[in-house]
């Protein structure tokens, strides 16, 4: 099946293309057709959600990938995603229909950040990027991915990462794929990133909700005098604290 043409002159709607590279015939016709259908559906869905345009997704068949899934994703820029599949991996047949769209969602999230704030250079920035991408890919899976679950105490890992958070000369491979020499477990960086991004996400939602409530109170404060009539003051007496609650000492 030929790939769709690129952007036509005068075309304004988003164009994101999937390329399944199978000239070698490593994928059977049946598997290639189903893989294309699953990947195109996921690409359309997430490109719409993330408002992506001009992204090429290349699917290639090679004898490597993550041992846990037989699939690997890579997004080196804001317009390109590579997906590597290995049908010979023993975990591939039963898992690819979940892992392929989930991996694509993860990498498309990276392309969105590449087009905006960037993927990041420091350990902290990359932890955030990887953590947010893991949370995003849960749209395609019912449980956290393997790389979200490092076999280690995350508090200990976080304390160890502390001095490196704002540096760019940390060992990426060691932190994210593990290193016995560095005493770092596999997936350490991914697991830390997922937890930290979750904290940041919850904090953002909390502040957003607090802002909405503050706006609602302000709207009520401004509109109540009109409803009650002129001359009504809402600031004549200080607000009373519910009995038994201590005074607020912070924000």
Residue 201, pLDDT above cutoff 80: no
C-alpha 220/C-alpha 104 separation (Å) is 45
Q: Provide the phi-psi class of 120: left if phi over 0, else alpha when psi is between -120 and 50, else beta.
A: left
Report pTM.
0.76
Is the C-alpha dihedral spanning 173, 179, 182, 188 positive or negative? Answer: positive
Residue 73, pLDDT above cutoff 70: yes
What is the predicted pLDDT for the residue at 213? 47
Confidence bin at 197 (pLDDT 50/70/90): confident
What is the predicted pLDDT for the residue at 145? 84
C-alpha 107/C-alpha 130 separation (Å) is 10
What is the predicted pLDDT for the residue at 64? 86
- Tokens of residue 150, six digits: 């490092």
> Within 10 Å of residue 185's Cβ, how many Cβ atoms?
16
Task: Decide: 89 and 62 in contact? Cβ < 8 Å.
Answer: no
Lowest mean pLDDT among 16-20, 123-127, 151-155, 201-205: 201-205
Residue 67, pLDDT above cutoff 60: yes
Confidence bin at 196 (pLDDT 50/70/90): confident
Task: Decide: 52 and 78 in contact? Cβ < 8 Å.
Answer: no
- Per domain, the residue ranges of the chain are 14-119, 121-227
Counting every residue written for the chain, the total comes to: 251
What is the predicted pLDDT for the residue at 198? 78
Question: Which segments within 117-247 are labelled E, that is strand?
Answer: none
Residues 1-10 pLDDT 10s: 345 455 555 5
Computed over every residue of the chain, the mean pLDDT equals 81
Mean pLDDT of 180-203: 84
Task: Decide: 120 and 167 in contact? Cβ < 8 Å.
Answer: no
Mean pLDDT of 162-176: 96
- Tokens of residue 200, six digits: 């940041």
What is the predicted pLDDT for the residue at 101? 98
C-alpha 39/C-alpha 96 separation (Å) is 10
Residue 238, pLDDT above cutoff 80: no
């Amino acid at each position: 099946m030929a790939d769709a043409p690129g952007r036509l002159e005068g075309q304004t709607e988003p164009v994101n293309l999937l390329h399944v590279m199978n000239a070698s015939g490593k994928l059977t016709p049946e598997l290639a057709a189903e893989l294309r259908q699953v990947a195109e559906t996921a690409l359309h869905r997430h490109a719409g959600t993330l408002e992506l345009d001009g992204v090429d997704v290349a699917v290639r068949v090679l004898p490597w990938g993550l041992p846990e899934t037989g699939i690997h994703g890579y997004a080196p820029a804001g317009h390109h995603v590579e997906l590597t599949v290995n049908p010979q991996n023993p975990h591939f047949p039963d898992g690819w229909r979940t892992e392929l769209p989930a991996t694509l969602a993860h990498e498309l999230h990276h392309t969105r950040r590449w087009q905006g704030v960037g993927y990041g250079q420091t350990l902290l920035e990359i932890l955030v990027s990887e953590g947010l991408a893991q949370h995003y890919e849960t749209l395609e899976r019912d449980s956290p991915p393997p790389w979200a679950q490092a076999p280690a105490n995350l508090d200990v890992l976080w304390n160890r990462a502390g001095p490196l958070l704002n540096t760019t000369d940390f060992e990426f491979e060691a932190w994210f794929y593990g290193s016995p020499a560095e005493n770092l477990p596999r997936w350490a960086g991914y697991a830390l990133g997922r937890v930290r991004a979750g904290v940041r996400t919850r904090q953002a939602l909390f502040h957003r909700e607090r802002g909405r409530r503050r706006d609602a109170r302000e709207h009520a404060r401004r509109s109540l005098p009109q409803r009650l009539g002129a001359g009504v003051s809402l600031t004549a007496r200080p607000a009373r604290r519910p009995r038994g609650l201590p005074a607020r000492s912070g924000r």
